[in-house]
Amino acid sequence: MSLDRRTFLKRTGAAGALILGSRLPAPGPAVAQDMTVRPDPAAKRGGTLRYGVHTAPTHFDVHQSGTVANIGAQSPMYDTLLRRSPKDGQTIIPDLAQRWEISPDGKKYTFYLRKGVKFHDGADFTADDVKATYERIVRPPKGVVIPRTPLFATVGDIVVVDPHRIEFRLTEARPKAYMLGAFASGWNIVVRKKTLDENQGNLRQVMNYPGTGPFKHVSRKDKEVWIQERNPDYWNKGLPLVDRLEIYHMPPFSQELGSAFLSGKLDYARLLDPVSWRKGKEMPGVTAAAFNQSVIQAFWTNMQKNKALADPRVRRAIHLAMDRHTLVEVVKDTAPMQVGGFVYPFHEMSTPRADLEKKLGYQKDIKPAVQEARRLMKEAGYGNGLRNLDFVVREANTFKLWAVAIQAMLKEHLNIESNLRVVQISQWFEEASGGNFDLAISAIVSTLMDPSDLFSAWYGKDGPQNYSRWTNAPFHDLANQMDRELDDNKRRALVRKGEDILEQDPPLIPVAYEQIYDAWYNKVKGQNPSTYFGIYDVVRWDNVWLG
Amino acid sequence: MYAAVTLLGVSISIFIILRVLPGDPLVAILGVEGHARMTPADRVHIMADLGLSDPLPMQYVHWLRDIAAGRLGKSFFRGDTVSELIAHRGPISAEIGVLALVVSWLVGLPVGILSAFKPNSVPDGLARAMSILFIAIPGFWLGMLIVLALLFWFGYKAPIVIVHLWQDPWQNFQIVIGPAVVLGLAQGAYIARMSRSCLLEVIGEDFVRTARAKGLREGLVVMRHALPNALLPVITISGVLLGFVLGGSVAVEQAFGVPGLGRALVIAVVERDVIVVQNLVLLYAVIFVVVNALVDLSYAWLDPRIRYG
């Protein structure tokens, strides 16, 4: 057999890649059971950290919340069973559970809880508190709505084995990445059983309920500042490092937050507007970071109200008619965004960005996509476009800017005419869930980055955020299969398959994916969120110190 | 009597408006994801908890009963009482309002007098142009420009939390001065225009000519004879302008980031915190009505010819 040099190199290269590939870790959660947050050896103790984050919470029940207004201010007072390491924001490490075991069939999660942990009111922390916390999350009492409940849909019994050991028995196995991610979610803080019992399971109006976290409540001025002090009895000895936290409530992306940071009235600002962030980046002694957030900005097409929008070809045409790079540019001074498709573009299982940008609808040159879009409209019988679409726009600068741009793109590329109707957020969700729109633009969040979560919440047949009322039998079957598939490589293939279906039959039209801009003065040490995913899991400030 | 009827009208209007406005307060309470997952049974339970499931007339009567008993209710989100909110934030907004009034008189009246006594001169033209400018410029925009200018040129920003006058007068002054100047200049422009036109009318009167003929100095003619007679309409408009100050403070407090009552009202509107909104709007109405009643009463003191029967 003859073998030329080029063929030889190709084949050895391929074989090498195969060997190397087989040795690469499978995608999944980075887990380190032996790792607990430890103070930086160079860390100094003391001082006050002034932190600006979001407007004030509308209530105090972290479990019932879905906004950083709660978790940003309250998280330092609580712990979770597991947590994401503040070093990278990704690796799952022990927290109140110092270790855990998963049965071989994946249907039993056993957590071994730390001993000697005390709540801020002096009570001992035991497995009963974990059981009460999770019973409430898994099966909320009447009038209590917890967005994370679906993550634990397969949790059957929660059994206290002894005061420091608890078992979660699943009715059906779920991927480890998914379950551990759910237990490590920053939202699932552990609260006292007694607190829940005394308040009939509803903590919306209970401002200062005891946690086990590194900081304790001192005082709160509504819509101004929440002050917390170091918990001297914190189980993780040596932490936290700062004596006092002052958490200022300021609207995200606002001039108010930006000016407070730039004038030195805050040490650390989260959710800065792009202009202040860029200004901060240029300032000496300031570090600025951008990181990914679990929010998709999109618009929905009402398939039940509008016959034309029920046609997948029309929705794909609308999807292809979007010049996404321009849409990101349109809001660049208002909020940081990035181009993405139907799954988080930075998720390891989604189509890599380079490949995505080769697809129609994501290219910088939109001519081929628009050509295809026009062909699809013609084929669907709407070659002359559509008239009088009711386009409901959520009141926010980004959506108002986008709505005008999208309206123009639809008109120019597909001869679709729409009338903009700007409404407050409370009305937007009323209109969206009531089906009173043709097009509706807003943003939605997923609880986990794991595609199983968003495939069910955003695209599921009865998904709570499936505002288009979209159904697609092959996709729903696939999503079901993905929920149960324990092999990460097989799951990845299913995700890609799902993406292909969504591209052809879009349940929503992705506009962009949000990013977060943080900045801090260099005296704040111990935290760099550049690799974090979202702002909900690593918000405790226990390892942060002031230089 | 009329004041009571006005307040009753305001209370009915705001109560009805807040109930018929579209939008679901539960979005603010539960967040986007929670709201999406709420079942109809949860909705019923939560609305009952908030007291929003009672028939509307009953809700209205409960509200009036609470006010009569001195209870202003509480934010149905966090449970903070509206009385606490007013006690904490009210002084800051009151200071801004009073300072704005002082600024408007300190600026408006001298400018009006100068214009009236040198009509169609360069200073008069300049004064009129400036007054039109300050009437035209939206307060929130001017406020934002001031905040940005101070930040980028001097790296300065006023304190970000409430500091009361009795806690630290200097810090407190830094918080209130910006909004007060912005609101005061806009009202000062109205006062300048009104006082100019009133003075022009008065200085043509016989008694002013007589005063001059007696050989009085011009300053005395203005201060003793012309001005007191020209002030009544200016005082009247000041009472009306208070409405603009109250309304304008909502946007200006927002622009300066001052945590006053106006800002609390904006947040409550966005959150659809019905109890807070209706009580704050009623408070603003009470202030407006009371101040205008006082203005009416002050006529009798300023002008002996006026007597209320």
Task: Confirm or reject contact between A262 and chain B (CB < 8 A).
Answer: yes
pLDDT band for B104, please (50, 70, 90 cuts): very high
Residue ranges of alpha helices (H) inside B118-163 are: 122-136, 139-154
Which letter does DSSP use for residue B225 in this model?
A: I
Cα(B270)–Cα(B268) distance, integer angstroms: 5
Please tell me the predicted confidence (pLDDT) of residue B259. Answer: 86
| Nearest alpha-carbon partner for B193 in B159, B146, B154, B241 | B241
A151-160: list long-range contacts, CB under 8 Å, 24+ apart.
Answer: A151/A178, A151/A182, A151/A185, A151/A447, A151/A448, A151/A453, A152/A182, A158/A130, A158/A131, A158/A134, A160/A127, A160/A128, A160/A130, A160/A131
pLDDT of residue B307: 67
A·B CB contacts under 8 A: 145
Q: Which residue is closest to A58 within chain B, CA to CA?
A: B77
Q: Which residue has the tokens 């009210």?
A: B90
Partner B contacted by A153 (CB < 8 A): no
In whole angstroms, what is the distance from residue A422 CA to residue B3 CA?
Answer: 37
Residue closest to A74 by CA, chosen among A252, A208, A201: A208
- Interface residue B42 vs chain A (CB under 8 A): yes
**B171 pLDDT band (50/70/90 cuts)?**
very high
Q: What is the pLDDT of residue A155?
A: 97
**Phi then psi for A258, rounded to 5 degrees?**
-60, -45
Q: Which residues of A touch B271 (CB under 8 A)?
A: 58
Report, as an integer, the average pLDDT of B175-181. Answer: 93
- Chain A CB contacts of B27 under 8 Å are 425-426, 429-430
Place of tokens 């149905």: B76
Helices (H) and strands (E) in chain B, counts: 13, 0
Minimum distance, in Å, between the CA of residue A249 and any CA atom of chain B: 10
Provide the 8-state DSSP code for A533. Answer: B
- Residue of B42, B78, B151 to mutate, testing the A interface (most A Cβ within 10 Å of its Cβ): B78
ipTM exceeds 0.90: no
In chain A, residues with a C-beta closer than 8 Å to the C-beta of B25 are 426
Q: How far is B28 from chain A (nearest CA, A)?
A: 7
pLDDT band for position B309 (cuts 50, 70, 90): low
Q: Chain A within 8 Å of B91 (Cβ-Cβ)?
A: no
Asked if the C-beta of A265 comes within 8 angstroms of chain B's C-beta atoms, the answer is yes
Residue A238: what pLDDT?
92
Among the partner-chain residues B24, B77, B270, the one whose CB lies closest to the CB of A429 is B24
pLDDT tens-digit series, residues A107-139 = 999 999 999 999 999 999 999 999 999 999 999
A44-68 confidence digits (pLDDT tens)? 999 999 999 988 888 899 999 888 8
Q: Is A464 on the interface with B (CB under 8 A)?
A: yes
Strand partners, A423: A394
The lowest-confidence range among A242-246, B62-66, B102-106 is B62-66
d(CA B147, CA A258): 11
Contact list, A426 vs chain B (CB under 8 Å): 23-25, 27-28, 272
Q: What DSSP letter does each residue of B191-203 carry, written as one string?
A: HHHHHHHHHHHHT
Q: For A60, which of B46, B78, B147 is closest by C-beta distance?
A: B78
What is the predicted pLDDT for the residue at A29? 56
- The pLDDT confidence band at residue B269, using thresholds 50, 70 and 90, is confident
| Residue B6, min C-alpha distance to chain A (Å) | 30
Chain B interface test: which of A54, A58, A433 (most B C-beta within 10 Å): A58
SS3 at position A84: strand
Q: Which residues of chain A have pLDDT under 70?
A: 1-29
Cβ <8 Å between B157 and A427: no
Q: What is the pLDDT of residue B119?
A: 83
Contact predicate B111/B127, CB 8 Å: yes
Q: Which residues pair with A517 in a beta bridge?
A: A290
CB A459 within 8 A of CB A470: yes
**DSSP symbols for A397-410:** HHHHHHHHHHHHHH
Look at A487-501, B16-30, B133-147 and tell me which has the smallest mean pLDDT.
Answer: B16-30
**pLDDT value of position B45:** 84
Averaged over B24-53, what is the pLDDT? 79
φ, ψ dihedrals at B307, nearest 5°: -135, 135
Residue B308 is predicted with a pLDDT of 62
